Each structure stands twice: as C-alpha cells, then as structure tokens.
Structure 1
Amino acid sequence: MTSPPHDPPSPGVTPWYGTSRASIDLDAISDNVRELDRRAGDASVMAVIKADAYGHGLVPSARAALAGGARYLAVAQLAEAVSLRRAGVDAPLLTWLFAPGDDLTEAVERDITLSAGASWAIEAIGAAASATGRTVRVHLKVDTGLGRGGSWGDGLDQVLRRAAALQAEGAVEVEGIWSHFAWADAPAHPTVRAQQETFEEICEQARRIGLAPPLRHLANSAATLTNPSAAYDMVRPGLSVFGLSPVPDLGSPEDFGLREAMRLTARLVNVKPAPAGQGVSYGHEYVTETDTTLGLVPLGYSDGVPRHAGNAGPISVNGTWHTVAGRVCMDQLVLDLGASSTAAAGDEVVLFGRGVDGEPTAQDWAEAAGTISYEIVTRLGARVPREYVGGEA
C-alpha cells in the first residue's frame, strides 16, 4: 500500500516523482504493541495514534496496532476519531480534545468514547446523549499534577458528581478515569510517585461518589516501559508503539524490545565537484575545507527536516554517514560527500531508520536539532509519500 503509487501513472493521473519517501513497517508497529502488552502484565493496551499516528499514517497504524493486540485506540482531536470511524475502524476509541460548542452528535452516533476534564465538557456530553438518545461512554480526565488538561480541586468534585448523576440517568457510562505524568521519562523523579498517590486518592474519591470505572489509566510510553506499578487497568503508550524510545538516556528501542517503524529516505538529485573554500547554501554557513563533492538532497524544512539542524543533521549515503552542510532550506539541503565519493544522482540517502542497521535514527536527529524524537517523526510533511510494508499492506 503506497501513496502515491510506485507504478507508472495511468493517463490523467498525477505522477509521483519519487524524490523521497517514508517507508512504514506495519509489522513493526504490531510487534511493538505485542511487546508493550507483554510488559503491561494484566493491564491492556490503549494505543495512542494521535497526530496522524505520530506521522506514520492514522488508519494503517490503527489497524496495525489492533493486529498487535491493542484493546483500545486513542487520538487527541475529535476530527481524528471521526476519520477513523469513517474509514471503518470500529475498535473502542477515545478522544479528548474538543471545544465548547462543538457538535458531538456524529461522535456519539459512531460510538466514540469522549473525555471530560471540565464541567462544561461533561455537560456537553450529557446534552449530546439527550439529543441522540444514546448512552455515551466517558473517561474522566483528572489533573494529578501536570497542570495541563483535566480537573482538580472543587472543579474535580463538580465533574465527578455531575458524571455520577448522568450515569444514574443512563445518559453516560463512566468507563474510565485517567491522568498524565509530568516526568514519566524520569522514573525516579519524586513527582512520579506523588502523582500515582494523587491518582489513587481521586479514584477513591470517585468511588465514594458512586463511580467505579473499570479502566484506570495513567502510564504513557515511558511509564509503560519503566514503571510497572503505574499500569493499573490499562496503559496508554504512544511513541513506543512506533518503535522509538521515550527514555533514550535509559535505553534504545532495541533495549526495550522495540524497533523503529519509519524509515525516511530520498534520492540525490545533483552531485558535483566543488573547490576548497566554496561556501555552501544560504549565508555560506558551511565552507569546504578541501576540494570535495557536493550532493543535493530534495528534502527541506517544508518536509519537516528541522531548519536548526543545519551543519548537524546526520544522513547516510551508501552506508557512510555525513552531516548536513550549511543551512537546511525549504525544499533541499546539501551534503559534503568528500573528494573520494562515488555517489551519483539517483543514489538513495537515509535520513533516519533503524539504529541496529547502522542507520541514523530519529533520536540522532533529535539530538542534532535539540529536540525530541516525537517531533522528528510527527513533523514529517504531507508531501513526503508514505509507503506501507508488512501488515495489511
């Protein structure tokens, strides 16, 4: 399954020129979920596939995660959840970001689980239940210390009590209660244990009000891999589903039994000799030290390559690593291939793939750009075609 296709286009079909591609290994996604499920013990896996499945493609990744044993799927935006349903993905599905006034009718009719982290949200869900005549599955978002989404204090008590009343009326089924860590990537940080204790206290508070949701979930990727005590009834990994380590200081993907699902490649479109002292790309922030060979890669910041990875981003050409020479431009970047290079136009270059195969990784790019691997894969631009291998491909 490739978009756009590899084969020569039919008459009237816009051709794919093939300068770059992101190859997505669906079997890797499935296998990663199996490993996460194993680590979760008695808890089940909710695979988080928000942001177009971290850039990997929403619908194919959803199906691969389910094939690997995920019991639940989760996306951030309401529109993402509706898109999955329209594509025929009918597994249990949670979404948590919608705004006051948003029409929840289709979500309710399509059996999408909604999250309520504020009084207005539980009221909106109750109204949608009344309008459709359906009982809506709800997961209550509580803030245990992250200071972001969810309720705490008096607001939390209001949400819990209103949810209990709506459940008694048959308007909602409070299926879950959940929260999010602030420092899960630092498992020894004191906030980790403190948030777990707060979460357990809130679950007890809910029970006293008459709510005993069967699905308590707090563990994200980092906690799933490093903190078994946070598994509760369900774990909620995202990044690790796609084979990247959320705690690179503690272990690589292979250390956790994972493998990277995305491999980003391009083809050289220009190779030419350059003399010593030649400035390269805008601003001549790179100047050749000796006579050398320059190679042009047709990917740039409009494709998601970090602009601030100039003179830093790693790229492999015919098995040899090079560093971006000069600035990353909108559509292209340059490599100093060295005087003895035999590279030619059309040769494949690898921006990132699997570390065990000796390729640069998304983590290498994150370190080069001063960011995290989450951003490297998620920011990949829409004009880079995704090619799917394995799984249902």
Structure 2
Amino acid sequence: MSDARMPGSAVCSAQIDLSAIRDNAAVLAARVAPRLLAADLAADGYGHGAVATALAALRGGAASLTVSELDDARELRDAGIAVDIVAQRGLPSSGTARTWHDHEVYSAGAALYGLVEDAELRPAMRVSALVVGTKTIEAGEGVSYGYTYRAAARTNLALVGIGYADGLDRIASNVGTLLLGGKPRTIAGRVAMNALVLDLGEDTVRVGDEAVVFGDESRGEPRAAAWAAALGRSAAEVVSVFGQHLPRMTS
C-alpha cells in the first residue's frame, strides 16, 4: 500500500468551533434564566481546551465556571479569567443546579459542547483524518494485524492516518465507520497505532481526501453521539479522549 503523508499539515486533527460553544451557551443561558449558567470545563473542557472554551462560554452568557481540580482553576486565572470558578469534587455533576453566593446556578456540560440531541445546539468538535494510501486486494486477502478482516470480493481500500495513539478506540476495529467520499465506510481489520483501513468496495478515493470520524450533522456528517453509541461509549468520553490526543485547531 502506498504511503504519501501530507507534509506540512496535520494528518489527523480535532477541529474546535468556538462559535458553537458561544452560541450554545447563549441558548442555555436563556433557557435556565433566572438561574445563572456555569460552564463545565472538566477534562480540559471535555477535550475542547479549557481556556478557549471558558472564553467562548463567557461570551455566550455563562456567569461562572466549574473545573475538576484546583490546578485547573489556576490555569484559568493565569489566562486572566476573573469570574467565579468552582472545583467540582464533591459537587453535583453537569446538568444539575446548585447554589453559589445566594444564586442558583445550572452547570452545563455535554449540552454546552453540542453532544446532546437538541436542534438548537451545535456540535463544537469535528474529528477527521487524511487518506495516506490506497490499495486494491482480491477476494480472500486479509487486512491489518491478525487478518481479522478478509475481503469477500475484490475491493479497494483506503489507509487513513488516525489510530489508537490518536484516541481512536481499538473497539472500533471491524465495527466503526468513517465518512469518506460522501459514504460511511466500515473499518476493515484492526485499528493500528497511527492508522486504520477503510473498505471502499468498488469506489475509489485519492491520497489527501478527508475521512470524517464525526462532525456536524447539518453538513451530512455523523454525530459524536452516533460514533460513541457504536462503540458502547458516551459522547463526552469520546470527545474528551480525542481532544487530549489530537492536534486541536480552533476557529
């Protein structure tokens, strides 16, 4: 299989739409009024980047922030953020109300990042990777480590530059699908450390084409929740892991 990684560009990345976080915060703040909205920044802002997420949520109307540890609060203070910040240990989890300085506060987590079924909320993370190689195999030939996948007929394959070292769970082997060439393509064989293989059937793609793990449903892309459900995971877990492993690109 040919391998032609794209020099000077990220082969795989998590693209963070800060305007989605801002707009989601505005929607949620209006819904919970007169309660105040707190943005849940646990796990580095669910993998979206705590500081950038905090600033976007505050622009959207969040009144305070919650974090997991005191060190996380120090990072926000060092970035010049001066609103109330509460460490969550021992406090109610996201999606619940609490009282802070005589104000009732609603803590928003998954909804803030667009990870729930809600027409007014937009997903803030999109994960994609580039095709780095292509190959055609014959019926009966195996794919990837251990040949857990064998082609039922002559088929085209795409090698995509994302793997378990990038946060893509190995449970997705032979199960998960990525959107490539406008169609969902099943992962063929085991997910490797930095790559996976997609079965294209009779279709063809080119090196440099983009395969989407999840993104914005309004653009025809699969949702993070759909990817997570296929693996028996929660959407919050999936985005947090990807956000900790992939290069983040904000817009």
Q: Kindly report which structure 2 residues correspond to 1:38-117, keeping only aligned pairs within 5 A, or say none.
A: 38-97=30-89
What is aligned with 2:209? 347
Provide the alpha-carbon RMSD of the alignment. Answer: 2.1
What is the distance in 1 between the residues matched to 2:187 and 2:133?
15
How many residues are matched? 245
Amino acid at match of 1:325: A
What is aligned with 1:235? 106
Greater percentage in strand: 2
Distance 1:303 1:85, change over 3 A: same
What is the distance in 2 between the residues matched to 1:333 and 1:180?
35
Distance 1:278 1:322, change over 3 A: same
Distance 1:72 1:283, change over 3 A: same
What is the distance in 2 between the residues matched to 1:17 and 1:333?
19
Shift of 1:381: 5.4
Aligned counterpart for 1:266 among listed residues 129, 138, 141: 129
Runs of 4+ with >6 A deviation: none
Q: Kindly report which structure 2 residues correspond to 1:154-193, keeping only aligned pairs within 5 A, or say none.
A: 179-180=92-93
Aligned counterpart for 1:29 among listed residues 7, 17, 21: 21
What is the distance in 2 between the residues matched to 1:213 and 1:28?
29
Aligned counterpart for 1:337 among listed residues 196, 200, 209: 200
Q: Kindly report which structure 2 residues correspond to 1:239-318, keeping only aligned pairs within 5 A, or say none.
A: 239-245=110-116, 252-254=117-119, 257-318=120-181
Q: Normalising by the residue count of structure 2, what TM-score does the alignment of the two structures yield? A: 0.91
Amino acid at match of 2:77: R
What is the distance in 2 between the residues matched to 1:52 and 1:382?
8
Sequence identity (%): 40
User: For the Cα contact (< 8 Å) 1:32–1:68, is it kept in 2?
Assistant: yes
Shift of 1:288: 0.9
Q: 1:26-71: per-residue Cα shift (whole Å, max 9, x none)?
A: 1100010111111102111000011111011111111100000000
Q: Does 1:380 align with 2:251?
A: no
Unaligned runs of 5+ in 1: 1-14, 98-148, 150-177, 185-191, 204-211, 216-232, 246-251
What is aligned with 1:320? 183
What is the distance in 1 between the residues matched to 2:93 and 2:45?
19
What is aligned with 2:102? 214
Shift of 1:17: 3.6
Shift of 1:213: 4.9
Q: Normalising by the residue count of structure 1, what TM-score does the alignment of the two structures yield? A: 0.59
User: For the Cα contact (< 8 Å) 1:303–1:381, is it kept in 2?
Assistant: no
Distance 1:179 1:342, change over 3 A: closer
Amino acid at match of 1:312: V
User: For the Cα contact (< 8 Å) 2:48–2:243, is it kept in 1?
Assistant: no
What is aligned with 2:3? none
What is the distance in 1 between the residues matched to 2:223 and 2:135?
27
Shift of 1:383: 4.8
What is the distance in 1 between the residues matched to 2:158 and 2:118?
31
Unaligned runs of 5+ in 2: 1-6
Q: Which has the higher contact order (CA 8 A, sep 6+)?
A: 2
Greater percentage in helix: 1
What is the distance in 2 between the residues matched to 1:180 and 1:311?
34
Q: Does 1:18 align with 2:4?
A: no
Larger Rg: 1
Q: 1:120-147: per-residue Cα shift (whole Å, max 9, x none)?
A: xxxxxxxxxxxxxxxxxxxxxxxxxxxx
